[in-house]
Chain A
Amino acid sequence: KAGVTQTPRYLIKTRGQQVTLSCSPISGHRSVSWYQQTPGQGLQFLFEYFSETQRNKGNFPGRFSGRQFSNSRSEMNVSTLELGDSALYLCASRDLRANTEAFFGQGTRLTVV
């Protein structure tokens, strides 16, 4: 069974640009969550999608948005990039019918210059 797949693995963007990150969950998992990891703040929750609906949202500005497709794949978009958005963005999937263990992808390393 394939794990959680995130693409791309690395991105370099310029301030003011926008970026889209992709996450394919484990087959059969309909819940996808996104987290931001920085050295100073650690891991912080962005949002969670289930069956194409955002069911939970963290404390991030509106520049951060996401969506989920009917095949459970999810995308995260960050508009008007700032230097402080440089981070490792991690996606997690889980099967809410089972024990809800969260499985993470390898992450996308975003660098804003």
Chain B
Amino acid sequence: KQEVTQIPAALSVPEGENLVLNCSFTDSAIYNLQWFRQDPGKGLTSLLLIQSSQREQTSGRLNASLDKSSGRSTLYIAASQPGDSATYLCAVRPGNQAGTALIFGKGTTLSVSS
């Protein structure tokens, strides 16, 4: 059974720091992995999608990597800003086809102080 873990559960950093959020999963057989951002009481905003054949994806100040063999993904945020404060969720789509459901970690709540 696929399980997704995100450590740490919470992180506080000063503005301008580069930081890394971690995501680990127990079964390397995944179709893709997606990183989301969630603001309090709101829905999920998709940040990056990494297909199983890819090693990384970049969007602006965000870079996500995927190492299927070790069951790990990282989300790198460069030059953090107070507006980056939110909960970041990692989700994997298990198996080798697109028809499976996303399995989510519990998230990392990031607080960036000015």
**Do B106 and A42 have beta carbons less than 8 Å apart?**
yes
14 CB-based A-B contacts, threshold 8 Å:
A6-B43, A43-B91, A43-B102, A43-B104, A58-B101, A99-B32, A99-B51, A100-B31, A100-B98, A101-B49, A104-B43, A104-B46, A105-B43, A107-B42
| A residues near B32, Cβ cutoff 8 Å | 99-100
**Do A33 and B104 have beta carbons less than 8 Å apart?**
no
How many residue pairs at the A-B interface have CB separations less than 8 Å? Answer: 56
Verify if B68 is at the interface (C-beta below 8 Å from A).
no
| A residues near B36, Cβ cutoff 8 Å | 104
Interface residues of A (CB under 8 A from B): 4, 6, 33, 35, 42-43, 45, 48, 55-56, 58, 88, 90, 92, 96, 99-107, 109
| A residues near B31, Cβ cutoff 8 Å | 100
B99 interface neighbour in A35, A56, A109, Cβ under 8 Å: A56
